[in-house]
Amino acid sequence: MAQARGNRRIARELALRALYQWRLTGDDYARLLAQAEEAEEYPQANAKFLKALLDGVLREAEALDQALAPHLDRKLAELSPIEHAVLLIGAYELVHSLEVPYKVAINEAVELAKRYGGTDGHKFVNGVLDKLAKTVRAVEIGAAGR
């Protein structure tokens, strides 16, 4: 059984895989979650965080895409499914998970992009999420003296 305080990084990885699947197949939350729960790493993941992240990204995907669009150097349709999924996770955390420091949200997305994305995808993800953070986390960034 997954611990309530399991690993958030593993939860993000499982969410990324689920969102990649969603981008390709259009599967619904229940099917995506069931597949994530079958992953070998699932017992180490923070299951509560995974469920909230996956549900939130699926529910807010359109609004997150709209928030990301001004910061992209290409159309959403031109993003790889991995880059898009990583950006959705990062954007969701920046916009809706205010308990997660903005630097952590960006860093975790960059790490996902390094592990699963293309050669320089992590640089792209970092740039986009940094720009988004300046608009949605301006108070936090200002307080940090950045």
pLDDT in tens, 48-88: 999 999 999 999 999 999 999 999 999 999 999 999 999 99
Place of tokens 């949605």: 136
The pLDDT of residue 146 is 54
- Is residue 47, in this structure, part of any structural domain at all? yes
Look up the domain containing 118 and give its range.
8-137
- In this predicted structure, the answer to whether residue 1 has a pLDDT above a threshold of 50 is no
Domain count for the chain? 1
| Dist. CA 69–CA 88, nearest whole Å | 11
- Is residue 144, in this structure, part of any structural domain at all? no
| Chain centre distance of CA 45 | 15
- Is residue 142, in this structure, part of any structural domain at all? no
The pLDDT of residue 2 is 38
- Is residue 3, in this structure, part of any structural domain at all? no
> Which CATH number goes with the domain that contains 110?
1.10.940.10
Phi and psi dihedrals of 123, rounded to 5? -70, -40
- Mean pLDDT (the chain) is 93
Q: pTM of the predicted model, to two decimals?
A: 0.92
Q: What is the pLDDT of residues 28-39, one digit of tens each?
A: 999 999 999 999
| Chain centre distance of CA 135 | 17
- In this predicted structure, the answer to whether residue 128 has a pLDDT above a threshold of 70 is yes
**C-alpha angle 55/61/66, rounded to 5°?**
155
